[in-house]
Amino acid sequence: MVDKEIVDTSGESKGLLQRLRHQVIALAKEKDPPHRIALGGALGIFIGLLPIMGIQMAVVSILAIPLRGNLKAAIAGVWISNPITFIPLYFANYKFGLLFFSNNKVGWEEFSSVIKLAARWNWGDVSASMANLMDMGTNILIPLWGGSAILGILFAPVTYAALYKIVTRHRVRAQIEKEDF
């Protein structure tokens, strides 16, 4: 029974890694130069780490175009935070932010309930939605935003370098294979 669970778990992670690999290969096949693809991915990761769930795609689209980053890569990077991952991701960002901004700490239960309330944005009642967001208070907002921004600044260049290298290698291999025929 234990062995089957291990196999099932590894099968799921392989599926996830294979999907990620296929997405990166699809990006490598884009007509844009490696720099633009890597820039788009890095921008997407940076914006994806910020606690702006619900408007990330719009923000990254608005920024990717004038910064000349690949829009598909930028949108793919934003999906680091999604409806399934955003609360644990933001909690990790919050905990990281506490290293730099020592406020009164809140636990997982309080954090997740406050984030869920703030995520219920209602365009029909913007003032109530803003009040929900402000109710988070500085105990959560400052470490959350600070941790998110610092992690975004750290992970964006790593993403850029990794994507640039992957796209470049893929294109070199594809060119060699093409020449071999």
Average pLDDT over residues 31-36: 92
**Amino acid 5: pLDDT:** 36
d(C-alpha 8, C-alpha 52), whole Å: 34
pTM for the predicted model, two decimal places: 0.79
**How far is residue 164 CA from its own chain's centroid?**
17
Residue 147 has pLDDT above 60, yes or no: yes
| Model pLDDT for residues 86-141, shown as the tens digit of each residue | 889 999 999 999 999 877 788 888 888 777 777 766 667 667 766 766 767 778 88
Position with higher pLDDT, 123 vs 2: 123
Average pLDDT over residues 17-43: 85
HEC readout, the chain: CHHHHHHHHHHHHHHHHHHHHHHHHHHHCCCCCHHHHHHHHHHHHHHHHCCCCCCHHHHHHHHHHHHCCCHHHHHHHHCCCCCCCHHHHHHHHHHHHHCCCCCCCCCHHHHHHHHHHHHCCCHHHHHHHHHHHHCCHHHHHHHHHHHHHHHHHHHHHHHHHHHHHHHHHHHHHHHHHHHHC
